[in-house]
Copies of this chain bind each other. A is one copy, B any other.
């Protein structure tokens, strides 16, 4: 590279970064993805208070729990009781994960008006995580979505193992595309592409989006990174460069998936906020309030959460 090429290249990257979204929507998944793997089963009122602190922080969407079998995920066995205790703030979408029609019925009965469904891109992961193959899971999702739509309930669709699978390794973008196509045809409002085990790098993100962009409108894409190897923020940066404006995160970096060996927690909301704020990107979320929620969670989990910002500012 010539010196003049360097000047030009820096200018190009600068112009490029100037085009990242000026406002980003954060989906706080701490109460669900962050807690589902916890061996400490928190009292329902603690979860309700945690969610209330997150609501005060300014998130427009919080994933509050999962209406999954209590035997499979004991930490979230109190989904109905939790909904009973929550004070739903207007302007906040409270989403419940529903693995199937039974889960949807429970969620609706509990007053939930926004649900998330889960499809895997990896056949093996799908079998081990939800006991169904990918096609079978999509048929269940179709039934869930039909019923939800009749009730006027929004459906968000996760694609787990969208980059790597703990059993199958790298997942082909074409394989992901067929799942995304099915979800769009079924009618989900938004597709959250999840790096379940946190092994993806920025080139993986771009390769996947190259395959998806022709079928998936940018405003229906969310990115969901786990921070196992510390790669999440680099991937978020690439997502921003692609123009993507919805990111999932968990306060304090809570989490890890019980069915994904070696997976660590979600990217910490605080770390993501530090990146976005530093880049001048608005979120409507107040960092100090998120820290307050994380500290509250830590005090009840009886352990420190791994988020870098949270650890750096001291206990």
Contacts and interface: CB of A to CB of B under 8 A. Distances in A.
A111 interface: no
Interface in A176-216: 198-204, 206-207, 209-210, 213-214
A243 B308 contact: no
A168 to B, nearest CB: 17
Stoichiometry, copies per complex: 2
A265 to B, nearest CB: 11
Given A7-B213, A9-B243, A202-B237, A271 B17 contact: no
A217 B3 contact: yes
A199 B16 CA distance: 22
Contact of A230 (B9, B262, B271): B271
Interface in A35-70: none
Given A17-B202, A17-B206, A268-B230, A218 B6 contact: yes
Contact of A206 (B10, B213, B275, B309): B10
Contacts of A264: 308, 312
Interface string A268-288: 100100110011100000000
A248 interface: no
B16 A16 contact: yes
Contacts of A237: 202, 234, 237-238
A242 interface: yes
A210 B16 contact: no
Contacts of A278: 199-201, 203-204, 231
Interface residues of A, number: 56
B308 A227 contact: yes
Given A13-B238, A13-B242, A242-B13, A229 B271 contact: yes
Interface centre among A5, A204, A275 (most CB of B within 10 A): A275
Given A213-B7, A230-B271, A271-B229, A312 B17 contact: no
Contacts of A207: 14
B229 A312 contact: yes
Given A14-B206, A233-B233, 17 more contacts: A1-B218, A3-B213, A3-B217, A5-B243, A6-B242, A9-B19, A10-B213, A13-B16, A14-B207, A17-B202, A200-B278, A201-B279, A204-B278, A230-B233, A231-B278, A233-B234, A234-B236
